[in-house]
Chains A and B, each alone.
Chain A
Amino acid sequence: MSLKQNLHNLKEKYKGTKMAPAFNAIHTFLYLPNEVTHGGTHIKAADDLKRTMNIVIMALVPCLLFGMFNAGYQHYAAIDGSLRTDVLANFFTWDNLWIGIIKVLPLVIVSYGVGLGVEFIFAIIKGHEVEEGYLVTGMLVPLIVPIDTPLWMLAVAVVFGVVIGKEVFGGTGMNILNPALTIRAFLFFAYPTWMSGDKVWVYDAVKRTGTEDAISGETILGSYAQNNDVVYSTWDMFMGFIPGSVGETSTLLILLGAAFLIFTKIGSWRIIVSTFIGAAVMGLIFNGIVNADIITESSKFYGLMNTDWWQHLIIGGLAFGAVFMATDPVTASQTNKGKWIYGFLIGFISIMIRVFNPAYPEGVFLAILLMNVFAPTIDHYVVQGNVKKRLKRTKVKTA
């Protein structure tokens, strides 16, 4: 008997039992189900949620691979500064990739293992199918944490994020906050020393702290926030040869991912574009304040306010947030008009928090979470506009 037939027989056997969702998740992973339409349209388009989610994962893979090389590169470059002189020659090496494999892959495995475990448990308890939302979340999480994040911390955060961020609302499609960012926020507030500072972005920096061969890897935002000089060129920032969360450093690859998502019509170009516009506007405002001499070099905000507005777009997590986080269709605004407002405010507030947040010079995830909360409100007013139009029509007719 073929595999197809075997699996079909097993499905029939498990039908109606508690384990059915778990079995179906594996079955539908291998085979598109044999379900046919009943009533309504008799034909259906080719896409399903798995295909949609899969496209997002594909868009993330270049960032993941780059992040693995970068893990090694930043480690060795921190030890031997001469590597920074010829980046390209020293970047794509097996040594670098090896560090990526031993540091980044475990993050991916823990993220998926724990997250899917929770999803399966909830599906079995509640008797619904395992939905695909976590496929993307599981890939996002390792890309937005510092490389030295301890695995147990990640596991705890993932359990929190999936249960509190998603399952309590009813699972995929029902959540208010982006689950990946909920996980990030949990880490940020529960273990702040592991999420900021200059020790966590480069592999081994924590372990060597206080020893003779201590290494440091300050992020660009960290340098600016301290009003320090930044040692990286714009080219490094755009290409991503800089310390930072695992997958968010390369603006180039993020933009490639964005192009892929927009081309496949999976990602909302409205949100991506408006987020960049919002960030640019806020950046321009701050540049203007500096140019008008309202703020002087002695101010603690000077470094970040004086950063060119376009630089804000390529440093920190802004690009990654705009492309992969803000566009989450469940937690973003759902109306097209709303998406413009939603994206703009994310960009605007991101840069505002980035400049004014004294504790931690990055605000993208906070801005997105904040706007997640306001997205339904934005939609409400957009939809009310449509309702008003309809009501107005009535008055004209009866007047």
Chain B
Amino acid sequence: MENINTYTISIYTENNIGLLNRISAIFQRRHINIESLNTSISEIEGVSRFTIVVNLEEDRIKKIVGQIEKQVEVIKAYYHTDEETIYQESCMFKLKSDLLFEEREIQNIIKDSNARIVTVNKEFFVLEKSGRRNEIEQLYRDFSAYGIMQFVRSGRIAVTKDEMKISQMLAAFN
């Protein structure tokens, strides 16, 4: 059996209703768990980008990308290893404001982690942190001891180190 690796799939698509359903069904049908999923606009006007993270063997990821590309509204799909991409996740913590003023350690954690304070009021303050999954998880562990009021983490977003030819390809369409 081949080794399982983490792969980031980048999919450039038309911005049409129902496509998320169509793409997620490809994974569902093959019993592949999606570790993270993000959709957004892309660098090309009118073109959406899906960023999907899965843990899979390379042989299977190739087939999945083939099936994704086959969808009528998918312009192009790629898969990349972690080494081939620059990737980040984003998260937000909501904590009690008392902690900020009474626990010196909290201030140190914020400073050391390069987290950013988004808002502060009498009741709570909100931190935002972007980084690798392990950095976010460490921050979560650090704050857990003090009590987290709310926590949310985004899906991975990634850009490749190498150029993807998508811009060139789409220039031909536009």
A and B bound?
no
- Mark A residues whose CB is within 8 Å of B: none
- Mark B residues whose CB is within 8 Å of A: none
